[in-house]
């Protein structure tokens, strides 16, 4: 089995499922990994929609708390603005509460979580208690300078999180989200200086999560440098092959 064959890498962990015929095509936690700007949010949103399961983005959850001015939001805001990570216990409490809800029973897509080894270990502990297939992590790989270019041109809807780009995919009406009519902005942490810090944080704290899933035989590598639609096709094809 070679590392370069994503399905082979994955089958080591997934082919031994004993759950019988799945009641739902996903029925697992799908974990999207990759550097900031690798396309996790865009792909997670689409895959979740296609499979009819929740898209859980910890970044979106924090931004919602910040917008509402909750206590958690007040703690998270300066950390997010500096490109660092919110402490594990805060993130874990939020995620544990979310995945315990009924709508996660047929599986869910995680985006931006886990981002540290303790988060990954705790997630797998929680998942082992749920009647789901083994989780699957997909690592979207993209060249670092391409990632910076993508992020600084990214624009995000403040209300629903829809993603746009000044490089050729802007809302039909200037500054107004096509999906929900919300305000489309440059996220404060998408400025280049913060992006560089986020990438440093990624290498230091999140790369080990990729190795964690690889060691467990639960990792697929996917070329994230292609067009959005092409990455989506590849991702769906991989998921279909695992059904």
CA end-to-end span of the chain: 20
CB of 139 to ligand AMP, least distance (A): 15
What is the pattern of x (binds ligand AMP, CB under 6 A) and - over residues 30-49? ------x-------------
Cβ-contact 172, 162 below 8 angstroms: no
- Whichever of 6 and 83 has its CB closer to ligand AMP, that residue is 83
Active site residues: 40, 115, 154, 187, 198
CB of 47 to ligand AMP, least distance (A): 16
Q: How far apart are the C-alpha atoms of 138 and 232, rounded to whole Å?
A: 12
- Whichever of 90 and 105 has its CB closer to ligand AMP, that residue is 90
**CA angle, corner 66, sides to 60 and 69, nearest 5?**
145
Q: How far apart are the C-alpha atoms of 160 and 55, rounded to whole Å?
A: 12
Residue with nearest beta carbon to ligand AMP:
59
How many other CB atoms sit within 10 Å of the CB of residue 72? 17
User: Under rule CB under 6 A, which residues in 64-103 are in contact with ligand AMP?
Assistant: 79-80, 83, 85-86, 91
139 counts as binding ligand AMP under rule CB under 6 A: no
58 counts as binding ligand AMP under rule CB under 6 A: yes
Cα 65 from chain centre? 18
108 counts as binding ligand AMP under rule CB under 6 A: no
How many other CB atoms sit within 10 Å of the CB of residue 77? 18
Q: How far apart are the C-alpha atoms of 242 and 222, rounded to whole Å?
A: 15
113 counts as binding ligand AMP under rule CB under 6 A: yes
Site residues (vs ligand AMP, CB under 6 A):
36, 58-59, 62, 79-80, 83, 85-86, 91, 112-113, 115, 119, 189, 198
């Amino acid at each position: 089995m070679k590392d370069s064959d994503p399905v082979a890498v994955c089958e080591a962990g997934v082919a031994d499922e004993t759950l019988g015929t799945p009641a739902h095509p996903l029925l697992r936690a799908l974990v999207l990994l990759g550097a900031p700007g690798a396309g996790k949010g865009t792909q997670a949103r689409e895959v979740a929609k296609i499979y009819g399961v929740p898209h859980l983005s910890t970044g979106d959850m924090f931004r919602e708390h910040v917008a509402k001015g909750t206590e958690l939001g007040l703690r998270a805001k300066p950390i997010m603005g500096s490109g660092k990570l919110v402490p594990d216990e805060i993130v874990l409490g939020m995620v544990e509460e979310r995945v315990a809800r009924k709508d996660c029973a047929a599986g869910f897509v995680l985006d931006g979580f886990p981002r540290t080894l303790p988060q990954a270990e705790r997630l797998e502990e929680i998942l082992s208690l749920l009647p789901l297939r083994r989780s699957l992590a997909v690592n979207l790989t993209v060249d670092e300078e391409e990632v910076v270019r993508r992020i600084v041109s990214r624009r995000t809807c403040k209300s629903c999180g829809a993603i746009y780009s000044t490089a050729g995919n802007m809302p039909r009406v200037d500054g107004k989200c096509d999906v929900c009519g919300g305000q489309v902005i440059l996220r404060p942490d998408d400025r280049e200086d913060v992006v560089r810090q986020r990438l440093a944080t990624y290498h230091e704290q999140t790369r080990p999560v990729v190795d964690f899933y690889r060691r467990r035989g639960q990792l697929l590598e996917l070329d994230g440098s292609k067009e959005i639609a092409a990455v989506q096709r590849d991702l769906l094809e991989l998921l279909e092959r695992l059904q």
